[in-house]
Amino acid sequence: MLKIYRVDAINPSIDIIRRAGEYIKGGNLVAFPTETVYGLGADTFNGDACLKIFKAKGRPPDNPLIVHIADFDELNKVATDVPEFVWSIIKKAWPGPLTLILPKAPDVPKEVTGGRNTVAVRSPAHPVALALIKSSEVPIAAPSANKSGRPSPTLAEHIVEDYKDDDIDMVVLDAGPTFFGVESTIIDVTKNPPVLLRPGPYTLEELKALFGMDIVVPEFARGLGEADTALAPGMKYRHYAPRTRLTIIECEKYEQLVKLLRDVAIDNMKKGIRVALLITRETSEMLLRDYPEIGNLPIIILGYRENPYTIAASLFDSLRNLDKINVDLGIAEGIEERGIGLAVMNRLRKASSFSRVKC
Ligand code: TXA
Ligand code: MG
């Protein structure tokens, strides 16, 4: 059964947090908000409890979890040989949407790391997540709370949507929408120079300044091409995917992008394909003004092109909404790979299974 508790995002009820903490201690699952997306958590040191996460999500066992801690000192319980420069980075970046890959401590069970000798760790910047970890008195291992392959939950309603028909015990702490809307940045600091495994709210530009050195950005981190191993989400497994087919329009020049969006939409409509557009507010206004012939297509607004944070925040909800309107194809507007735009494009490209039309 899903037990849903509504909590205030800033001042969560002590009583509810205590109950959820007891639930974690008892080897059960709690879905909780973070500043990125909702996570599905269990006691890191209880391998059987962590197994429940994989079972609930339908997650492949070699796709590891992220360990969430509330105090820097807890890092020593889950990681070893943390270099001095990493400590100084942590002090600046945590709590926050930055996950570090480090050598794992012996007590972290194989269920958490998918059998690797490294562990992913972060301290989430969300009062509810921090209160829950403290109340549980253990680091909490969690992936995103969605069913495997579905877009990550940015609202508690998304969790209900994914699990309502399942025979499953789970406490859900509903604190409303998450802040960033895309998952944390993941960086492997066991490598020199460090390697960006997944772009996220902690931007590449910020990482470079934080580390004071170059960061390796593999093609897969941009959402281009697949890697062979399950190193970061979406590299090996189908991720974030709506059920409806999706394609992305990518152009450097904005006017060209708007025109290509229109051309691709018309092309598909002529073939009898039912099309919806996932576009920014600016583009929807431009299309309606310049190309009224496609003005009556269903449109899902992706936020403001001018402010990519609004696009990140609404992205996963938009992908879920695409499945709720009855169409065959979603055509999404690409944005610039700058700041959080890199994370948005990484998620969009994976959601589209790398289908795109370029200028
Ligand atoms: O913001 C977030 O990252 C959210 C919230 C809940 O913290 N978590 C999240 O976890 O989205 P998710 O579903 O992306 O799963 C954790 C990912 C795995 O898919 C894996 O690729 C990566 O973290 N990961 C975990 N351990 C790793 C390791 N040892 N080496 C490389 N990647 C690892
Ligand atoms: Mg996930």
Strands 170-174 and 2-6: parallel
The reply to whether 231 falls in a domain is no
> What percent helix, strand, coil does the chain show, rounded to 5?
35, 20, 45
Same domain, 77 and 216: yes
pLDDT of the residue at 143 = 98
Give the pLDDT of residue 353.
82
Give the ligand 1 atom nearest the CA of 235. Answer: 21
Q: Are residues 303 and 212 in the same domain?
A: no
Choose one of 167, 191, 222: the last residue of a domain: 222
Q: Are 200 and 36 in contact, with CB atoms under 8 Å apart? A: yes
Q: What is the atom index within ligand 1 of the atom nearest the CA of 36?
A: 1
Question: Domain boundary residue among 176, 207, 222?
Answer: 222
Q: Which residues contact 31 (CB under 8 A, 6 or more apart)?
A: 38, 39, 40, 41, 145, 153, 156, 159, 170, 171, 172, 173
In a domain, 329, yes or no: yes
Query: Which has the minimum average pLDDT: 109-123, 210-224, 230-244, 301-315?
Result: 230-244
Average pLDDT of the residues in 194-205:
96
Q: Which atom of ligand 1 is nearest to the CA of 232?
A: 21
Q: Which ligand is nearest to the CA of 146?
A: 2
Q: How confident is the model at residue 241 (pLDDT cuts 50, 70, 90)?
A: confident
When divided into structural domains, the chain yields a total of 2
Of 278, 222, 288, 287, the residue nearest 248 (C-alpha):
278
What local confidence, expressed as pLDDT, does residue 236 receive?
52
pLDDT score of 136: 98
Cα 87 to Cα 89: distance, rounded to the nearest angstrom: 5
| pLDDT at position 355 | 86
Pocket test for ligand 1, best of 104, 180, 186 (most atoms within 8 A of CB): 186
CA 343 to chain centroid, in Å, comes to 9
Q: Report the separation in Å between the CA atom of 273 and the middle of ligand 2, taken as the mean of its atom positions.
A: 31
Residue nearest ligand 1's atom 10 by CA: 143
CA 117–ligand 1 middle distance (angstroms): 15
**Tens digit of each residue's pLDDT (9 = 90 or more) over 242-300:** 889 999 999 999 999 999 999 999 999 999 999 999 999 999 999 999 998 887 799 99
Over range 235-248, report the average pLDDT. 76
The more confidently predicted of residues 180 and 232 is 180
Q: What is the mean pLDDT of residues 179-197?
A: 97
Of 185, 193, 223, 172, which is closest to residue 66 (Cα–Cα)? 185
- Mean pLDDT value of segment 171-191: 98
Q: Residue 228's pLDDT is what?
A: 42
Please indicate, yes or no, whether residues 106 and 188 belong to a single structural domain of this protein: yes
Q: Dihedrals φ, ψ of 175, to 5°?
A: -115, 25
pTM score of the predicted model: 0.96
Same domain, 149 and 85: yes
Residue 240, domain member (yes or no): no
Q: Please list every protein residue whose CB sits less than 6 Å from any atom of ligand 1.
A: 34, 36-37, 39, 63-66, 97, 99, 101, 113, 116, 118-120, 124, 142-144, 152, 183-184, 186, 197, 230-233
End-to-end CA distance of the chain: 49
Span of 5-9, 21-25, 346-350 with lowest mean pLDDT: 346-350
**Above 90 in pLDDT, residue 239?**
no
pLDDT confidence of 230, banded at 50, 70, 90?
Answer: very low
Query: How far apart are the CA of 321 and the centre of ligand 2, in A?
Result: 18
Q: Which atom number of ligand 1 is nearest to the Cα of residue 104?
A: 29
Residue 59 C-alpha to ligand 2 middle, in angstroms?
Answer: 9
- The residue to which tokens 């490598």 are assigned: 191
- pLDDT(237) > 80: no
Ligand closest to the CA atom of residue 196: 1
Q: Which atom of ligand 1 lies closest to the CA of 38? A: 6
Of 159, 189, 222, the position where a domain reaches its end is 222
Q: Is residue 283 part of a domain?
A: yes
Tokens of 32: 């909780």
Q: Domain containing 6: what range?
A: 2-222
Express each pLDDT in 34-60 by its tens digit. 999 999 999 999 999 999 999 999 999
